[in-house]
Amino acid sequence: MARIICTCGAQLSNSEAPNDIQLKVYTDREWEEIFNCDNIIPWRIPLPKYDVWRCPICKSIYVYQDDKETPIMVYRLEV
């Protein structure tokens, strides 16, 4: 995935690295599995189960799983 249009109309892209759109979010269980080993090798740390994007304009959160193009969850701020 490289680009989506947020519900507010902003274009979101992860083509730049680093970027402020794509977040590295691990579940507690994933985090425990990573740090419950004797030796942590940075390049062997697995990617998180979910791909999480945040719109810098409206702060909506899009959660993707298994490289699908449609989010499995979308969160919007209530005002």
Going residue by residue through the chain, which has 79 residues, state the pLDDT in tens, using 9 for 90 and above.
Answer: 578 999 999 999 999 989 999 999 999 999 998 888 778 888 888 889 999 999 999 999 999 998 888 999 999 988 7
Counting Cβ atoms within 10 Å, is residue 63 exposed (0-12), middle (13-18) or buried (19+)? middle
Q: How many domains does the chain have?
A: 1
* Model confidence pTM above 0.85: no
For 12-36, b/e burial (b = at least 16 CB within 10 A) is bebeeeeeebbeeebeeebeeeeee
- Find the length of the chain: 79
Residue 47 lies in domain: 3-75
